[in-house]
Amino acid sequence: MKKTNKLVLCILIIALITLSSITAYAAMCSHGWEYWEVMDVDYDYEYIDSGVCYATITTYVECKICGTTGELMSYGINSHEWVREDLGHIPGTNMHRFNNTCNNCGYSFITEDFCSIPH
Ligand SMILES: [Zn+2]
Ligand SMILES: [Zn+2]
Ligand SMILES: [Zn+2]
Protein backbone atom coordinates (compact mmCIF):
# COMPACT_ATOMS: atom_id res chain seq x y z
CA MET A 1 0.00 0.00 0.00
CA LYS A 2 1.22 3.45 -0.96
CA LYS A 3 0.32 5.07 2.36
CA THR A 4 2.23 2.46 4.37
CA ASN A 5 5.36 2.89 2.26
CA LYS A 6 5.31 6.63 2.85
CA LEU A 7 5.05 6.11 6.59
CA VAL A 8 7.93 3.65 6.62
CA LEU A 9 10.07 6.13 4.71
CA CYS A 10 9.29 8.84 7.27
CA ILE A 11 10.26 6.55 10.13
CA LEU A 12 13.49 5.73 8.30
CA ILE A 13 14.32 9.42 7.90
CA ILE A 14 13.67 10.00 11.60
CA ALA A 15 15.88 7.04 12.48
CA LEU A 16 18.71 8.49 10.38
CA ILE A 17 18.35 11.91 12.02
CA THR A 18 18.35 10.29 15.45
CA LEU A 19 21.47 8.31 14.65
CA SER A 20 23.36 11.38 13.43
CA SER A 21 22.32 13.28 16.58
CA ILE A 22 23.71 10.50 18.75
CA THR A 23 27.01 10.66 16.88
CA ALA A 24 27.17 14.43 17.44
CA TYR A 25 26.28 14.11 21.10
CA ALA A 26 28.87 11.40 21.73
CA ALA A 27 31.57 13.97 21.00
CA MET A 28 30.73 15.46 24.42
CA CYS A 29 31.66 12.18 26.09
CA SER A 30 34.93 10.30 25.62
CA HIS A 31 33.05 7.09 24.85
CA GLY A 32 31.75 6.24 21.39
CA TRP A 33 28.05 6.29 20.58
CA GLU A 34 27.95 2.49 20.59
CA TYR A 35 28.15 2.73 24.40
CA TRP A 36 25.11 4.97 24.59
CA GLU A 37 21.98 3.19 25.61
CA VAL A 38 18.52 4.51 24.83
CA MET A 39 16.60 4.71 28.10
CA ASP A 40 13.37 6.29 26.90
CA VAL A 41 11.88 7.90 23.80
CA ASP A 42 9.22 10.62 23.85
CA TYR A 43 7.15 11.51 20.81
CA ASP A 44 5.39 14.83 20.47
CA TYR A 45 3.29 15.52 17.39
CA GLU A 46 2.02 18.79 16.00
CA TYR A 47 -0.46 19.30 13.19
CA ILE A 48 1.01 20.98 10.07
CA ASP A 49 -1.53 20.46 7.30
CA SER A 50 -4.06 17.90 6.12
CA GLY A 51 -1.23 15.69 4.83
CA VAL A 52 1.36 15.64 7.57
CA CYS A 53 2.17 16.28 11.19
CA TYR A 54 5.47 17.34 12.69
CA ALA A 55 7.18 15.04 15.13
CA THR A 56 9.53 16.11 17.89
CA ILE A 57 11.33 13.09 19.26
CA THR A 58 13.24 13.26 22.51
CA THR A 59 15.57 10.34 23.08
CA TYR A 60 16.93 9.91 26.59
CA VAL A 61 20.33 8.24 26.52
CA GLU A 62 22.84 7.06 29.07
CA CYS A 63 26.48 6.14 28.58
CA LYS A 64 26.95 2.57 29.74
CA ILE A 65 30.54 3.31 30.81
CA CYS A 66 30.55 6.68 32.60
CA GLY A 67 26.83 6.97 33.32
CA THR A 68 26.46 10.36 31.66
CA THR A 69 22.88 11.00 30.65
CA GLY A 70 21.64 13.17 27.85
CA GLU A 71 18.66 14.16 25.79
CA LEU A 72 18.74 14.04 22.01
CA MET A 73 16.21 15.96 20.00
CA SER A 74 15.25 14.88 16.53
CA TYR A 75 12.53 16.08 14.22
CA GLY A 76 10.60 14.61 11.38
CA ILE A 77 7.63 15.05 9.13
CA ASN A 78 5.13 12.24 9.49
CA SER A 79 2.06 11.15 7.60
CA HIS A 80 -0.98 11.32 9.83
CA GLU A 81 -1.92 8.02 11.37
CA TRP A 82 -5.63 8.00 10.68
CA VAL A 83 -8.11 6.23 12.85
CA ARG A 84 -11.57 6.03 11.32
CA GLU A 85 -14.60 6.21 13.54
CA ASP A 86 -17.94 5.18 12.07
CA LEU A 87 -20.50 7.93 12.65
CA GLY A 88 -23.25 6.02 10.88
CA HIS A 89 -25.23 6.20 7.69
CA ILE A 90 -26.76 9.51 6.65
CA PRO A 91 -30.52 8.82 6.48
CA GLY A 92 -32.19 9.19 3.09
CA THR A 93 -28.88 9.27 1.18
CA ASN A 94 -26.33 6.78 -0.10
CA MET A 95 -23.58 8.43 1.95
CA HIS A 96 -21.90 7.24 5.10
CA ARG A 97 -20.22 9.55 7.61
CA PHE A 98 -16.83 8.97 9.22
CA ASN A 99 -14.76 10.88 11.73
CA ASN A 100 -11.03 10.67 10.92
CA THR A 101 -8.64 11.36 13.76
CA CYS A 102 -4.86 11.33 13.64
CA ASN A 103 -3.48 9.03 16.29
CA ASN A 104 -0.41 11.24 16.60
CA CYS A 105 -1.35 14.92 16.59
CA GLY A 106 -5.06 14.53 17.38
CA TYR A 107 -6.30 16.44 14.32
CA SER A 108 -9.70 15.28 13.16
CA PHE A 109 -12.15 15.89 10.34
CA ILE A 110 -15.39 14.42 9.09
CA THR A 111 -15.75 12.75 5.70
CA GLU A 112 -18.80 11.51 3.87
CA ASP A 113 -18.23 8.55 1.62
CA PHE A 114 -20.42 6.82 -0.91
CA CYS A 115 -22.03 3.79 0.70
CA SER A 116 -23.85 1.16 -1.31
CA ILE A 117 -24.74 -1.13 1.59
CA PRO A 118 -28.36 -0.63 2.65
CA HIS A 119 -28.73 0.03 6.38
ZN1 LIG B 1 30.86 7.90 28.59
ZN1 LIG C 1 -1.17 13.92 12.62
ZN1 LIG D 1 -23.62 3.39 5.12
**pLDDT above 70 (res 17):** no
* Separation CA 24–CA 40 (nearest Å): 19
Q: Tell me, yes or no, whether 62 and 86 share the same domain.
A: no
User: What is the pLDDT confidence band of residue 95, given thresholds at 50, 70 and 90?
Assistant: very high
Question: How many Å lie between the centroid of ligand 2 and the Cα of residue 85?
Answer: 16
Strand, helix or coil at 76?
strand
Q: Tell me, yes or no, whether 54 and 110 share the same domain.
A: no
Q: Tell me, yes or no, whether 49 and 103 share the same domain.
A: no
pLDDT of residue 70: 85
Residue 119 included in any domain = no
Of the listed ligands, the closest to the CA of 30 is 1
User: What is the pLDDT confidence band of residue 2, given thresholds at 50, 70 and 90?
Assistant: very low
Mean pLDDT of 17-38: 69
Q: Which residue has the higher pLDDT, 33 or 99?
A: 99
Residue 42 included in any domain = yes
Domain count, the chain: 2
Number of H helices, E strands in the chain: 1, 6
**pLDDT above 50 (res 1):** no
Q: Domain span at residue 43?
A: 2-78
Residue 63 included in any domain = yes
* Separation CA 61–CA 70 (nearest Å): 5
